[in-house]
């Protein structure tokens, strides 16, 4: 069932998502060679709780019944999604996707950003730039009266035109009082197909794109998902609300991009 949000609910969701955005900005200040993803996780949890919110991911169960053991997902290099923070130091040339969720005032925020550690190759920069561009193509397609397939089609066409792989097993989602609500929001699809986009719809759009094959595999921890060919993957995510006919981005990359000083 799809729950359309009121204007008041959308503003509560905006507050939760802006907290996620500022958490990711704090992480951006600490992305450097030698830092561990466990250190980033501790920083994120402390920041979220200090601002009166709860890290949504911590303890969240997967289909195997295993609770997620951290407050953020940290997926490094060939890890596509749901990477568990660990004690391995980041090194120059790595990329790291940090997915963050927080519940504030009864509503959820959810956003992801892929960071570079030091210098990365031109191919990797292309991957990150194209994935971020695809996110905004999908957002632009989320217009009242259109269909969810229009969103996925916009993402898929942009990435595949650059020779990149589109992961199909993991998708975006509705969001509100629950972190995952209907409808699913795939990063592929056909125009004019899928659930109707209406004012009040709140969704997380999150392209997960690979430098090589989109084929993926699950690691023994039952959380971490990697590319089978070992090539890098990128992941960018915004939560948006459809009102006044178009998508309003509730999360933000503005502070992150100021800190990075680059747009790939």
The one-character DSSP state at 83 is P
Report pLDDT for 59.
96
| pTM, 2 dp | 0.97
Q: How confident is the model at residue 117 (pLDDT cuts 50, 70, 90)?
A: very high
Query: Over the chain, what is the mean pLDDT?
Result: 97
Q: Is the model's pLDDT at 262 over the cut of 70?
A: no
Give the tens place of pLDDT for each residue, 120-162.
Answer: 999 999 999 999 999 999 999 999 999 999 999 999 999 999 9
- The total of other beta-carbon atoms located within 10 Å of residue 263's CB is 9
> In sequence order, what are the residues at sequence separation of 6 or more whose Cβ sits closer than 8 angstroms to the Cβ of residue 50?
none
Contact 176, 13 (CB under 8 A): yes
* Residue 263 confidence (pLDDT) above 90: no
Q: How confident is the model at residue 12 (pLDDT cuts 50, 70, 90)?
A: very high
> Coil, strand or helix: which one is 169?
coil
| Mean pLDDT in residue range 48-55 | 98
> What is the helix, strand, coil percentage profile of the chain, to 5?
30, 30, 45
Per DSSP, the residues of the chain read ---PPPHHHHHHHHHHHHHHHHHHHHHHTT--TT-BHHHHHHHHHHHHHHTT-EETTTT-B-TTSPBP-SSEEEEETTEEE-PPP-SPBP-TT-EEEEEEEEEETTEEEEEEEEEE-S---HHHHHHHHHHHHHHHHHHHH--TTSBHHHHHHHHHHHHHTTT-EE--SS-EEE-SSSSSEEEEE-S---TT-SSBP-TT-EEEE--EEESS---EEE-TTSS-EEETT---EEE-BEEEEEETTEEEE-S--HHHHHHH----
What backbone phi and psi angles, to 5 degrees, belong to 42?
A: -65, -40
Q: In whole angstroms, give the CA distance from residue 171 to residue 117.
A: 26
Q: Domains of the chain by range and CATH?
A: 7-260 (3.90.230.10)
pLDDT tens-digit map of 77-91 = 999 999 999 999 999
| pLDDT attached to residue 97 | 98
Assess whether pLDDT exceeds 80 at residue 264. Answer: no
């Amino acid at each position: 069932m799809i729950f359309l949000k009121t204007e008041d609910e959308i503003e509560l969701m905006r507050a939760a998502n802006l907290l996620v955005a500022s958490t990711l900005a704090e992480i951006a200040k600490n992305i450097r060679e030698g830092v561990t993803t466990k250190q980033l996780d501790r920083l994120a949890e402390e920041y979220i709780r200090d601002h009166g919110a709860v890290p949504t991911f911590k303890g969240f169960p997967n289909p195997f019944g295993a609770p997620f053991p951290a407050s953020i997902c940290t997926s490094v290099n060939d890890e596509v999604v749901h990477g568990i923070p660990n004690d391995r130091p980041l090194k120059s040339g790595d990329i790291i996707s940090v997915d963050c969720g927080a519940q504030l005032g009864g509503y959820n925020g959810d956003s992801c950003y892929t960071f570079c550690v030091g210098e990365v190759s031109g191919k990797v920069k292309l991957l990150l730039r194209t994935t971020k561009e695809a996110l905004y193509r999908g957002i632009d397609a989320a217009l009242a009266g259109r269909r969810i397939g229009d969103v996925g089609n916009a993402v898929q066409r942009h990435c595949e035109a650059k020779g990149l792989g589109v992961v199909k097993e993991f998708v975006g989602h509705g969001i509100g009082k629950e972190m995952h609500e209907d409808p699913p929001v795939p990063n592929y699809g056909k125009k004019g197909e899928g659930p109707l986009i209406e004012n009040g719809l709140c969704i997380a759009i999150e392209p997960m794109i690979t430098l090589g094959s989109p084929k993926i595999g699950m690691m023994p921890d039952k959380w971490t998902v990697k590319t089978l060919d070992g090539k890098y993957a990128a992941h960018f995510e915004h939560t948006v609300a459809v009102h006044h006919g178009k998508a309003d981005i509730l999360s933000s990359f503005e502070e992150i991009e100021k800190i990075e000083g680059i747009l790939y």
